[in-house]
Amino acid sequence: MNDQTASVQQQSDGSTKMLVTMVGIGIICALLIVMTFQGTKPRIDRLKAEALERAVFEVVPGITSTTTFVRNNDGSFEATAQADPASVNVYAGYDDQGNLKGIAIEASGQGYADIIRILYGYDPAAEAIVGFYVLESKETPGLGDKINKDPAFLANFNELDVSLNAGRDGLENDVVTVKSGTKTEAWEIDGITGATISSRAIGDIINTSAPAIIPSIKKNIDAFKKVTGQQTTLKR
């Protein structure tokens, strides 16, 4: 073997060793990421659950306890001790006397930057949304994030009309976001200047969620009223 051949062989061996080293480092980094995710996921899930519990009291006024319900395949609801991530869950709120005051509903949809997760409170007696809370959002700071702190925008959800139609299978009117200051109807949401896409996304999310879940709630309203909540109730 001449000097040139030996040099090429050494370079090849060096490249192979470097490649093996880089692959090994990559595998180790990937394993560390997976282990970190698995280690922190339970805590993240717990914090999300606690935030959701607190939010229920924010979106349904006048309640002191809540009970989680899961929707069955036939559209009926039953109380459960723990939410089922694979099913549709809603959260009924009760006053000190055990009277049903409203139901909190989770919903999500695409915002400007990413998926927005919200919780809104539904009053079956008034057929209106009476509270709103942003559970998760990555909207632009100072603009899109106004959806969870702008007083005028949040006022839309003091009594947003979501009355059912004559067939009781959908909304009488679509929930829509309109240009800031132009709201004239009870089912309209006054948008936010400078955050048009984010505020419009909230209208779209509610308009998709409400007709899909509220008819089932109204049809099965007695199931929510009959719960005593002895083992499934969370108290404030």
Sign of the CA dihedral running 97, 100, 102, 103: positive
Instruction: With respect to residue 23, please indicate whether it lies within any of the assigned structural domains.
Output: no
Instruction: With respect to residue 1, please indicate whether it lies within any of the assigned structural domains.
Output: no
Is the model more confident about 30 or about 80? 80
- Judged on CB neighbours under 10 Å (0-12, 13-18, 19+), 63 is buried
Instruction: With respect to residue 24, please indicate whether it lies within any of the assigned structural domains.
Output: no
Instruction: With respect to residue 28, please indicate whether it lies within any of the assigned structural domains.
Output: no
Can you give the pLDDT at residue 42? 64
Q: Rounded to 5 degrees, what angle do the CA atoms 31, 33, 34 make?
A: 65
Domains of the chain: total: 1
Residues in the chain: 236
Partners of 110 in beta bridges: 115
Residue 94 clears pLDDT 60, i.e. is over it: yes
Note the pLDDT tens digit of each residue in 180-220. 999 999 999 999 999 999 999 999 999 999 999 999 999 99
CB 101 within 8 A of CB 92: no
Give the C-alpha separation, 97 to 110, whole Å. 39
Give the C-alpha separation, 146 to 134, whole Å. 10
Give the C-alpha separation, 222 to 212, whole Å. 19
Can you give the pLDDT at residue 13? 62
């915002």: which residue's tokens? 111
Give the C-alpha separation, 59 to 202, whole Å. 15
Instruction: With respect to residue 12, please indicate whether it lies within any of the assigned structural domains.
Output: no
Q: Which helix (H) or strand (E) element contains residue 224?
A: helix 221-225
Instruction: With respect to residue 41, please indicate whether it lies within any of the assigned structural domains.
Output: no
- Judged on CB neighbours under 10 Å (0-12, 13-18, 19+), 7 is exposed
Look up the domain containing 67 and give its range. Answer: 54-235
Note the pLDDT tens digit of each residue in 104-138. 999 999 999 999 999 999 999 999 999 999 999 99
Q: What are phi and psi of 106, to 5 degrees?
A: -85, 145
Instruction: With respect to residue 58, please indicate whether it lies within any of the assigned structural domains.
Output: yes
Give the C-alpha separation, 91 to 101, whole Å. 11
Half-sphere exposure of 158 (CA within 13 A, CB side): 7
Note the pLDDT tens digit of each residue in 131-176. 999 999 999 888 889 999 999 999 999 999 999 999 999 999 999 9
Instruction: With respect to residue 69, please indicate whether it lies within any of the assigned structural domains.
Output: yes
As a dihedral over the C-alpha atoms of residue 45, residue 48, residue 54, residue 57, rounded to 10 degrees, the angle is: -100
